[in-house]
Amino acid sequence: MQTNSRIQEQLEAWVEGNRGHAILGTTAQYIPALGKEDPSQLGICMLDDNGNYYCAGDTDKEFTLQSISKALTFIALSCNYGLDFVLERVDVEPTGEAFNSIVPFEIHRPNKPFNPFINAGAITISALLPGQTSQKKYEFLLHFLENLVGHPLELDKEVYDSEWASSHRNRALAYYLKEAKFLEIEVEEALDIYIRQCAIKVSTKDLALIGLIIAYDGYNPITKVKHFSDEIAQVAKVLMVTCGMYNSSGNFAAHVGIPAKSGVSGGIMAAVPPKLHSQTYEFRAGAGIGVYGPAIDVQGNSAAGTMMLRQISKEWDLSIF
């Protein structure tokens, strides 16, 4: 293993070397509160199984989960009702379409949404969270996440209000889901819980910790607490590989090869499983990664963040494939 300061220096160099790739994207203009972020920000935190954090670049900043929340709702719901309950209501097939597309429904008329990471599948499963109201459902998810990260989390009210006011596409999707009988609660309630979960504020450190727990199949190797089952973690990782980066999941798998989930805030949560036959010693026992780079590409993934992960994975041989 390189000395800790060597890893730290390496990450700092890679952040600066990749910052310029932000030019390949723009901040998420369709949610005005996200659109006004400084697109040149880039930061990363990596966490190893001994609890050592390596953070470089813009890591002081908190940002909203956005679509990263979809992976976490999937895990929380599966923990509460069991994996079978969830998989009866949402499939695990990638669509190859944009995250907010209505096309797969219109063309294929599936008997359940294709996967829980596209907006249609995510709205469907968020609506199933335990609790009679969207407030109670939100509290359930929040407590689950607070338990994972070990500290209180908050809603970014400005981002919530901004998305609520501009959520025409999601509203259309939710009406479609209601008509197809996938949605068991009212449209406005379903949108409320979905938009709330997207507006939960986190740091790159929080994402690194949750990523590490997923990499370790639901087990936190630092606190020695088992949060969710191996089976749930396995399906979560399959979804992250096949759908986590939307319609560039194939490219991400080929060039980065780490289960990951992105959000339009520019966050990426990645789970690096242990790899004992790795060609390098860095993070051989696995890692969690949190990235923030708010300039996103057309698929909705952090432009500079993706390029940086590509370099890190190649240099440190982190691909699972």
Residue 70 annotated in active site: yes
Residue 43 found at the interface with ligand DON (CB under 6 A): no
- Decide: residue 36, CB within 10 A, 0-12 exposed, 13-18 middle, 19+ buried: exposed
Interacting positions 85-114 with ligand DON (CB under 6 A): 99-100
Stretch that binds ligand DON, among 88-96, 233-241, 256-264, 276-284 (CB under 6 A): 256-264
In the complex, minimum distance from the CB of residue 53 to ligand DON, in angstroms, rounded to a whole number: 25
Position among 90, 198, 239, 289 found at the interface with ligand DON (CB under 6 A): 198
**CA–CA separation, 293 vs 99, rounded Å?**
19
CB closer to ligand DON out of 30 and 53: 30
- Decide: residue 32, CB within 10 A, 0-12 exposed, 13-18 middle, 19+ buried: middle
CB closer to ligand DON out of 197 and 203: 197
Stretch that binds ligand DON, among 142-150, 258-266, 278-286, 305-313 (CB under 6 A): 258-266
In the complex, minimum distance from the CB of residue 195 to ligand DON, in angstroms, rounded to a whole number: 7
Quickly list H helices, the chain: 4-18, 32-35, 68-81, 83-89, 103-108, 119-126, 134-149, 157-166, 168-179, 187-198, 204-215, 230-243, 249-255, 303-316
Residue 11, classed as helix, strand or coil, is helix
Options 86, 246, 248, 291, the catalytic residue: 246
Options 90, 187, 256, 264, the catalytic residue: 264
Tokens standing for residue 181: 């009988």
Residue 67 found at the interface with ligand DON (CB under 6 A): yes
**CA–CA separation, 285 vs 287, rounded Å?**
7
Place of tokens 């986190």: 202
Residue 246 annotated in active site: yes
- Chain residues in the site for ligand DON (CB under 6 A): 66-67, 99-100, 119, 163, 170, 198, 246, 262-264, 300-301
